[in-house]
């Protein structure tokens, strides 16, 4: 059992750190694989003892003798010997998986430390859920034979004459005996950009650029790529050119160059190279300099030396705490005196419990995990023991940029390509999550290591008073009834923050006492700037001396597998319109009166249920079982409310749009199929000409959705035109998107009426306030303890590897 009410780091047993991005996989990629490898066990033990001491001091008694608050309900994060169905792969299972796979001679697998582009190697592996019917049947029995545990493994077969990508399902865990082919026809060209490939590419183009254009770079941008001291330039970002965009059957990427200071993403320079990654020598195909394209470095340098092109000169920034791109404190200091900010506490300790990856809170039960390829996922969500949702989870994060330069123009990103699960890490108590939160680990199998990589702070779970009443009413006068009743809105939040180079995405799953679930996404981080160009004002404003902030569209796909009173569900809309009728109470006998009405519209096929928002036809979206109605004969339903809708403006079937066909709809409802598990894949960055998962095909068969197992595919997005206040970092206000699942005629009344948190104030004698009043509910004097201290600062000062790469 582990009670981590405060952050207390464990000894780090990770062999490597899971940092791997298609944007920032520069020469340091192989250093990622060495992260944590050199941590000394002895120093780890000393740090743990130190932190235990800190926590004990904070948890026992304070200086004034007041006892610390109770820790509350139990938290057990130990790895289960017999993991539940939805639990991520355990270390025992991963070891058995790897032992089995490396014994399969036909796979010809290479160990992580020896992989190259031409190797056969494991890119990632994660939990593969059994068929839903088997899982639901087992959960309904509550006992008996559990469906076998399985892993989905992605292998890059660079060793074959016809290179390809294989996806296998390996079973049973923890001691596999066989595997089956899940997918075996994925073109090798579709693979995500990986460590072996990227490291070699950056090494090659850095050497060629430095040899041929060192003086050009020094004179134009004040720095060089090597032997540069404090004025280093670096290739730090890539923009893909899929076959659909380039018209060439080649694997092409634009490599950006930056001045390397904090934070480099705000210091792009107008120099980039287009690299042919299919060429074993990583040939430079095109060069971009000062708003012009050149066929090669040789041509550029020759024209530069011959003064046949406009030259540019940008000084290298002087690193200081006042530099606009840094996040050091500056500006007008507030408050005038040093005062601590407000904090939230748990006066009676945790009101939720955790066992492994299963959470219980009030009337809620659910399982969670961190998918390596898709990020945070929840399963078997129940309220008052009724399953509401079988599966709800992030599918894809896409960002499409606009701009005049090829680097911005072709920056159409699908973040699953960088394995977004390992992006969630290093949550900081007191900022990313309240100090009283419970911090939860996640483990991943990646190309850099044969063992699991465990991240201790991948999730945080906490109960939080939003400061907004969940309900309230005040009847101040006797003819109103003379009472006050209200309920503070305390919610349970499971949070992860996925940082993909410059942007961070907060993903919250929020549970209300009313039986409602909210899924929220909030964007923050550094904008992807472009070198300032005067004639590109229609793509973005100038936000600093040398950069523009370019228009871009953040887009998110979520899967919501609803199970309302079972798996045989229907989907209907309540279509709101107006109706006109005679107004018999008007002196004009011909007068009319117009008011709103709604009409029930049952959706029978998948095409009917593909929804594009129209302000002229507002709707309620309801999911229900035709077998369950309330006492008034109305179906017990759940309503899906999307408050993050965004229209994707690009034309269909052009460029990279087909890879994000899910964004054509604000919501689509389909019949659940085992071979339609996700709306996107890790191959989307390169496969837009012929997507591995073509979401439009989910709808093309136009299947019946009446009394079927239904999945709602929810899309959200926000258009962002950066402005000066986005410097240094985009703030969260105005960047939040969310959708809700809300009970709708499901309960006879608000299920939160039973909450002990409610407060009621009323006269001692009914409707007679002069008789005095009585109040029931929690009061401030009930708090007679002190909350635990936040020991994170001492922890990270003692062991920087908690937050940073120290290898």
Give the model confidence (pLDDT) of 445-478 as tens digits: 999 888 899 998 999 999 999 999 999 999 988 7
- Express each pLDDT in 283-311 by its tens digit: 999 999 999 999 999 999 999 999 999 99
Which segments of the chain belong to CATH 3.10.450.40? 195-305
Q: Beta strand pairing status for 252-259 and 453-475?
A: unpaired
- Statement: residue 526 has pLDDT above 50: yes
Which residues belong to the active site?
415, 503
What is residue 265's predicted lDDT score, i.e. its pLDDT?
Answer: 96
In which residue ranges of the chain is CATH 2.70.98.20 found?
A: 361-401+513-750
Only one residue has tokens 């998948």, namely: 606
**Which CATH code is given to the segment(s) 361-401+513-750?**
2.70.98.20
Query: For the chain, what percent of residues have pLDDT higher than 70?
Result: 91
- Going by C-alpha positions, the residue among 323, 286, 290, 335 that lies closest to residue 308 is 290
- Cα separation, 605 vs 42, in Å, equals 63
User: What does the block give as tokens for 778?
Assistant: 């929690």
SS (H, E, C) 343-408: CCCCCCCECEEEECCEEEECCEEEEEEEECCCEEEEEEEEECCEEEEEEEEEEEEEEEECCCCHHH
Q: What is the pLDDT of residue 448?
A: 87
Q: What is the pTM of this model?
A: 0.90
Q: What is the pLDDT of residue 464?
A: 94
Please state the rounded mean pLDDT for residues 320-347.
92
- CA-nearest of 287, 279, 363 to 755 is 363
User: How many C-beta atoms lie closer than 10 Å to residue 800's C-beta?
Assistant: 11
Contact at 8 Å (CB) between 273 and 282? no
Residue 531 pLDDT class (50, 70, 90 cuts): very high
Nearest 10 degrees: Cα torsion 293, 296, 302, 306: -10
Torsion of CA 496, 500, 502, 508, to 10 degrees: -20
The model's pLDDT over 690-738, given as tens digits with 9 standing for 90+, comes to 999 999 999 999 999 999 999 999 999 999 999 999 999 999 999 999 9
* Predicted confidence (pLDDT) at residue 151 exceeds the cutoff of 80: yes
Mean confidence (pLDDT) of the chain: 89
C-alpha separations of 619 from 405, 564, 574, 615, 663 in Å: 41, 20, 5, 9, 19
Which CATH architecture is the domain 195-305 placed in? Roll (3.10)
Please compute the mean of the pLDDT values over residues 48-53 and round it to a whole number. Answer: 35
Average pLDDT for residues 65-92, to the nearest whole number?
A: 91
Q: Say yes or no to pLDDT of 41 above 70.
A: no
132, 672 in Cβ contact below 8 A? yes
So what's the pLDDT on residue 782?
66
For 758-799, write each residue's pLDDT tens digit: 999 988 888 888 888 888 886 666 677 777 778 888 888 888
Determine which helix (DSSP H) or strand (DSSP E) holds 93, and give its type and residue range.
helix 91-102
Amino acid 14: pLDDT: 39
Q: Please, what is the Cα angle at 35 between 29 and 40, to 5 degrees? A: 160
**Predicted confidence band of residue 801 (pLDDT cuts 50, 70, 90):** confident
Please report the pLDDT score of residue 23 as a whole number.
Answer: 41
Average pLDDT over residues 660-680: 97
Of 651 and 575, more confident = 651
For position 29, what pLDDT does the model report?
37
Q: What is the mean pLDDT of residues 404-417?
A: 94
Contact status, residue 288 vs residue 268, Cβ threshold 8 Å: no
Q: How crowded is residue 46: how many other Cβ atoms within 10 Å of its Cβ?
A: 13
Q: Average pLDDT, stretch 631-659?
A: 96
The angle at the Cα of 347, spanning 346 to 348, to the nearest 5 degrees, equals: 95
Sign of CA dihedral 4, 7, 11, 14: positive
Percentage of the chain lying above the pLDDT 90 cut: 74
How far is 478 from 374, CA to CA, in rounded Å? 57
Instruction: Using alpha carbons, select from 168, 183, 85, 89 the residue that is nearest to residue 122.
Output: 168
């Amino acid at each position: 059992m582990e009670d981590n009410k405060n952050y207390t780091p464990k000894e780090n047993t990770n062999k490597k750190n899971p940092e791997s991005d298609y944007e920032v996989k520069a020469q340091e990629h192989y250093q990622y694989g060495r992260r944590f490898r050199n941590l000394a066990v002895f120093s780890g033990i000393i740090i743990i003892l130190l932190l235990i001491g800190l926590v004990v001091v904070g948890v026992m008694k304070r200086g004034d003798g007041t006892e610390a608050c109770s820790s509350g309900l139990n938290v057990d994060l130990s790895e289960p010997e017999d993991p539940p169905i939805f639990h991520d792969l355990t270390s025992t299972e991963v070891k058995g998986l790897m032992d089995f796979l490396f014994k399969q001679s036909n796979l010809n697998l290479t160990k992580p430390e020896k992989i190259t582009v031409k190797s056969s190697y494991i890119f990632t592996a994660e939990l593969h859920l059994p068929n839903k019917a088997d899982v639901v049947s087992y959960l309904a029995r509550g006992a008996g034979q559990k469906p076998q545990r399985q892993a989905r493994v992605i292998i890059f077969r660079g060793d074959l004459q016809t290179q390809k990508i294989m996806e296998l399902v390996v079973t049973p865990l923890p001691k596999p005996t066989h595997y089956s082919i899940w997918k075996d026809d994925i073109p090798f060209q579709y693979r995500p950009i990986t460590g072996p490939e990227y490291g070699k590419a950056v090494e090659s183009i850095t050497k060629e650029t430095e040899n041929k254009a060192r003086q050009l770079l020094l004179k134009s941008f004040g720095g060089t790529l090597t032997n540069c001291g404090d004025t280093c330039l670096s290739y730090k970002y890539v923009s893909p050119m899929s076959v659909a965009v380039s018209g060439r059957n080649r694997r092409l990427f634009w490599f950006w160059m930056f001045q390397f200071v904090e934070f480099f993403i705000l210091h792009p320079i107008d120099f980039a190279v287009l690299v042919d990654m299919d060429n074993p020598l990583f040939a430079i195909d095109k060069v971009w300099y000062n708003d012009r394209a050149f066929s090669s470095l040789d041509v550029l340098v020759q024209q530069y030396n011959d003064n046949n092109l406009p030259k540019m000169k940008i000084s290298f920034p002087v690193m200081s705490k006042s530099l606009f791109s840094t996040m050091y404190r500056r500006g007008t200091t507030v408050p005038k005196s040093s005062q601590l900010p407000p904090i939230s506490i748990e006066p009676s300790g945790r009101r939720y419990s955790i066992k492994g990856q299963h959470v219980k809170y009030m009337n809620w039960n659910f399982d969670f995990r961190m998918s390596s390829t898709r990020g945070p996922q929840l399963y078997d969500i129940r309220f008052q023991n009724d399953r509401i949702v079988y599966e709800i989870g992030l599918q894809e994060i896409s960002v499409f940029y606009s701009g005049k330069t090829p680097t911005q123009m072709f920056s159409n990103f699908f973040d699953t390509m960088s394995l977004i699960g390992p992006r969630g890490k290093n949550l900081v108590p007191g900022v990313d999550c309240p100090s009283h939160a419970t911090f939860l680990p996640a483990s991943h199998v990646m190309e850099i290591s044969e063992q699991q990589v465990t991240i201790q702070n991948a999730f945080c779970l906490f109960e939080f008073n939003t400061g907004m009443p969940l309900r309230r009413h005040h009847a101040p006068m006797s003819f109103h009834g003379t009472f006050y009743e209200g309920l503070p809105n305390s919610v349970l939040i499971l949070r992860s923050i996925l940082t993909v180079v410059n942007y961070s995405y907060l993903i919250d799953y929020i549970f209300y006492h009313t039986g409602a679930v909210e899924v929220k996404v909030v964007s923050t981080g550094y904008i992807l700037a472009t070198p300032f160009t005067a004639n590109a004002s229609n793509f973005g404003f100038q936000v600093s001396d040398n950069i523009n902030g370019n228009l871009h569209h953040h887009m998110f796909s979520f899967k919501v597998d609803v199970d309302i009173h079972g798996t045989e569900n229907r989907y209907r809309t309540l279509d709101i319109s107006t109706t006109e009728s005679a107004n018999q109470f008007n002196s004009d006998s011909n007068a009319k009166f117009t008011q709103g009405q709604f009409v029930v519209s049952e959706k029978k096929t998948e095409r009917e249920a593909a929804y594009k928002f129209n302000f002229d036809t507002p709707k309620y979206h309801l999911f229900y079982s035709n077998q369950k109605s309330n006492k008034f004969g109305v179906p017990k339903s759940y309503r899906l409310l999307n408050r993050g809708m965004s229209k994707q403006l690009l034309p269909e079937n052009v460029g990279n749009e087909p890879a994000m066909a899910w964004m054509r709809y604000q919501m689509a409802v389909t019949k659940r199929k085992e071979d339609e598990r996700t709306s996107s894949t890790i191959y989307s960055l390169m496969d837009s000409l012929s997507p591995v998962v073509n979401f439009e095909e989910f709808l093309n068969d136009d299947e019946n959705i009446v009394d079927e197992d239904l999945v709602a595919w929810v899309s959200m997005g926000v258009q962002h035109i950066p402005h000066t206040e986005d410097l240094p970092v985009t703030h969260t206000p105005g960047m939040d998107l969310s959708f809700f699942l809300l009970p709708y005629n499901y309960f006879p009344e608000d299920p939160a009426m039973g909450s002990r948190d409610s407060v009621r104030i009323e006269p001692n004698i009914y409707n007679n306030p002069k008789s005095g009043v009585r109040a029931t509910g929690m009061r401030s004097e009930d708090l007679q303890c002190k909350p635990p201290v936040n020991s994170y600062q001492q922890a990270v000062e003692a062991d920087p590897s908690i937050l940073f790469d120290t290898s």
